[in-house]
Chain A
Amino acid sequence: MKFLFLVLALAAPLAAQATVNVFACEPEWAALAQELGGDKVTTVSATTARQDPHHIEARPSLIARIRNADLLVCSGSELEIGWLPLLLTQSGNDRVQPGRPGYLEASQYVVKLEIPKVIDRALGDVHPAGNPHIHLDPRNIRKVADVLSARLTEIDHANAAYYAGRTADFVKRWDAAIDRWREQAAALRGVPVVVYHKDFSYFENWAGMREAGSLEPRPGLPPTPSHLAELVDQMMRTPAKVIVYSPYNNPGAAQFLSDKTKIPSVMLPFTVGGTDRAKDLFGLFDDTIDRLLKTVK
């Protein structure tokens, strides 16, 4: 009898885990899966807002998580090429291999920006398929939501109605939020901005901001003194209105440029968890727009 009780006690956590295990490469996709899947999914993000998604160690803990995943959601377009392929081949999990319903590359479903015409590593860390940081355009989140919802339904038929309901609710709230953000971000139209890395392009494109330069001399390479000096000169001639950087960037370079040029710099959450207010996708955009408006004012 005691033995039976023990077995039941051990089995209980397994039964409780009868949800769809979602492995997200970045926090924004974990947040989206949570919005759409509610308590029928368990989400985990491989990275946090303080980590550069290009440079992640293929840690044993990540292999263990992919091993048990039913659905993998990543930005794709080679953003995770330095670590994800290795996790996939080591995982022994065929459900999430490319080509399967459990493998979702979000950037495949949106119009990508900055598809390079010339592909040469002398130009830095170029992504042949275009800029992979697609999530900062709220319309892209909307597009990926539809695909992600369809995948959840495909993997977990039994809860199809549940996912459909949550997705409809999310989309309604999201569309309303986009309208609100569009009004708020009207003041950002045409505002010249200096970025740290080219991870802000989709937001610029959505809000109509103008990129006036980047702290990285070439994508993926850390700022150099000579490049910063050039940037200072350039800003003296044609000043930008704001310098932005992400939680995973070193604020030093942005601070330096800001000190030299008196152009205000601001850290933007970049993804869910990047700031206290960016607790979910709504908070991410609320905070991004607010911080920009406050700085640009």
Chain B
Amino acid sequence: MNRIVWCAAAFAVAAMPAYGQDADVSKLREELRQLQQRLQALEQRLQETESRSSKAEESATRAESTATQAAQQAASRPQTENALNPGISAILNGVYSNLQRDPNTYHISGFAPTLGDVSPGRRGLSLGESELGFMANVDHMFRGNLIASISPDNSTIDIEEGYIQTIGLSNGFTIKAGRFFSSIGYQNAIHAHAWDFTDAPLVMKAFLGGQLNEDGVQFKWVAPTSLYFDVGLELGRGRAFPASDRNKNGFGSSNLFTHLGGDIGESFAWQGGLSLYATSPRDRAYTDLDSTGASVTDSFSGSSRTWALSGILKWAPEGNNTYNNFKLQGEYFRRRENGTLTYDTTAASLGTMAGGYSSRQSGWYAQGVYQFMPMWRAGYRYDTLNSGTTTLGLVDSGALTAADFPILGAYNPKRHTFMVDWSPSEFSRVRLQFARDYSRMGLADNQIFLQYIVSLGAHGAHTF
């Protein structure tokens, strides 16, 4: 600034016409001196103003930071006893279903009905189950989690999960107790609102009766290795399919599981899992139509073992999943059941009879979901089941025929599912899904779902 003024002054002086040189030199000198004085005065005033303004600025900054601090303190001041309320979240979802076949007659041919909620839901518009969740650290030892689902039609409240989990143990140990989604395979442990498709894979429907939550205890240990490795054991009451509540002490089901996982470079992450679920159901009943057309109740007692193998591979360029990402997921289930099948337990048709029962059944699915641009994803899933070999003592001995157990007849269900979804934020999602479902022998079922899922309140973390 000063330099410019100086230069200008010098230039002005230099540019002055050079007439009457000698006589005017002293006059010029005098003028120059005056100019210099004025410049100096100006310079001083400028400096003063500058220092004043910087001081003002400084005090403004100081005031601002004091204000921010005050605001921060006010914000962090505990507000009465509510300050320690747990995190609360609510999940709302609704669906429009267009189903070619009557969902009330839905069954998976070749597989014993699971008594669970496996049908594709109601036709038309319906409110899905609303979920209410409460979660917080209890103290330095435990974390508590309660997730209740409210069914819209009969207004029953069902506890999906309600457990405590240790956070105060070391060396990689955690213990969970209460009701929780069992670590069988991969998707069973994930809440339905976080699934990539509207409904469960057929393997979960056929082998777990939908989604299996167990009342029990889970012990888990994470190994101190750089490659992720865990092993765990769940002991439960065996409250639901494939177990049956047996009214006995001890435990009714066990699930042994292990996972292995890691990264491949920056862009890929993977996880593999293996689990073995074992239980011994007693009088696990289901209804079927026998050869006379009568509705009969049959029941199974014996042992049931389910192996589940799962694999997940996720890709995101350089690990940045904001724009594009891909998730490949697959699970293979294999179940072996040995025991006794009792026909017509209520003697409603040909009379109660019992014989041996042995089955080996399996199934798998694979799905890929691609986020092709922010907010938008598309996915495809292929499901198939193998009803395998089922040996019925009553049929082998000639006492009854296979026509008396139509639902156990050999059949390999399959399903193709396509979906596209849009998530304007991480708290909301709208999904359109189309499925061609061959669960019922000889009947294809075209299913269209349009669904919204939103979450309110506490920000839940998402599992891998």
Spell out A's residues near B (CB within 8 Å).
47-48, 50-52, 55-61, 63-65, 67-68, 78, 81-86, 88-95, 97-99, 111-113, 115, 121, 124-125, 128-130, 220-222, 248, 250
Do B167 and A68 touch (CB < 8 A)?
no
Do B174 and A92 touch (CB < 8 A)?
yes
By a CB distance below 8 angstroms, the chain A residues around B37 are none
> In the bound complex, how far is the Cα of B323 from the Cα of A176, in angstroms?
40
Q: Which of A92, A113, A115 has the most CB of B within 10 A?
A: A92
Closest CB of chain B to A252's CB: distance in Å? 9
By a CB distance below 8 angstroms, the chain B residues around A64 are 222-223, 225-229, 261-262
Do B261 and A59 touch (CB < 8 A)?
yes
Do B269 and A82 touch (CB < 8 A)?
no
Pick the contact of B172: A61, A93, A130 (CB < 8 A): A93
A57-B321, A64-B262 provided; 17 other pairs, C-beta below 8 A? A57-B269, A58-B464, A59-B261, A59-B464, A60-B261, A64-B225, A67-B172, A67-B222, A67-B224, A81-B459, A81-B461, A86-B462, A92-B172, A93-B170, A93-B172, A130-B75, A222-B375
Residues 316-331 (chain B) with a chain A CB within 8 angstroms: 316, 318-323
Some 20 contacts from A to B, beta carbons below 8 A apart, are A47-B319, A48-B266, A48-B319, A50-B266, A55-B321, A58-B463, A59-B269, A60-B228, A60-B271, A61-B226, A64-B225, A65-B226, A82-B461, A91-B172, A92-B174, A97-B167, A111-B69, A112-B72, A121-B427, A222-B322
Do B65 and A57 touch (CB < 8 A)?
no
By a CB distance below 8 angstroms, the chain A residues around B374 are 222
- CB nearest to B316 among chain A residues: A57
Do B170 and A55 touch (CB < 8 A)?
no
Total contacts A-B at CB 8 Å: 140
By a CB distance below 8 angstroms, the chain B residues around A115 are 68, 71-72, 75
Contacts A91-B172, A94-B170, A125-B425; A57 near B314 (Cβ below 8 A): yes
> In the bound complex, how far is the Cα of B463 from the Cα of A98, in angstroms?
20
Spell out B's residues near A (CB within 8 Å).
65, 68-69, 71-72, 75-76, 137, 140, 143, 165, 167-174, 220-229, 259-263, 266, 269-271, 314, 316, 318-323, 374-375, 424-427, 459, 461-464
Closest CB of chain B to A51's CB: distance in Å? 5
> In the bound complex, how far is the Cα of B318 from the Cα of A51, in angstroms?
7
> In the bound complex, how far is the Cα of B168 from the Cα of A97, in angstroms?
8
By a CB distance below 8 angstroms, the chain A residues around B72 are 111-112, 115, 130
By a CB distance below 8 angstroms, the chain A residues around B68 are 111-113, 115
By a CB distance below 8 angstroms, the chain B residues around A130 are 72, 75
Closest CB of chain A to B225's CB: distance in Å? 7
Pick the contact of B224: A57, A68, A85 (CB < 8 A): A68
Do A63 and B320 touch (CB < 8 A)?
no
By a CB distance below 8 angstroms, the chain A residues around B425 are 121, 124-125, 220-221
Do B462 and A61 touch (CB < 8 A)?
no
Do B170 and A95 touch (CB < 8 A)?
yes
- CB nearest to A218 among chain B residues: B425
Top 5 A-B pairs, shortest CB-CB distance: A60-B261, A60-B228, A86-B461, A92-B172, A64-B228
Closest CB of chain A to B370's CB: distance in Å? 15
- CB nearest to A87 among chain B residues: B461
Do A92 and B222 touch (CB < 8 A)?
yes
- CB nearest to B456 among chain A residues: A121
Pick the contact of A59: B69, B137, B140, B263 (CB < 8 A): B263
Do A60 and B174 touch (CB < 8 A)?
no
Do A60 and B464 touch (CB < 8 A)?
yes
Do A111 and B459 touch (CB < 8 A)?
no
Do A61 and B228 touch (CB < 8 A)?
yes
Closest CB of chain A to B34's CB: distance in Å? 34
> In the bound complex, how far is the Cα of B171 from the Cα of A95, in angstroms?
10
By a CB distance below 8 angstroms, the chain A residues around B322 are 52, 55, 222, 248, 250
Do B75 and A129 touch (CB < 8 A)?
yes
Do A94 and B169 touch (CB < 8 A)?
yes
Contacts A64-B225, A97-B167; A48 near B174 (Cβ below 8 A): no
Pick the contact of A98: B137, B165, B270, B314 (CB < 8 A): B137
Pick the contact of A92: B173, B316, B461, B464 (CB < 8 A): B173
> In the bound complex, how far is the Cα of B325 from the Cα of A56, in angstroms?
12
- CB nearest to A65 among chain B residues: B226
Contacts A98-B137, A121-B425; A85 near B461 (Cβ below 8 A): yes
Do B459 and A91 touch (CB < 8 A)?
no
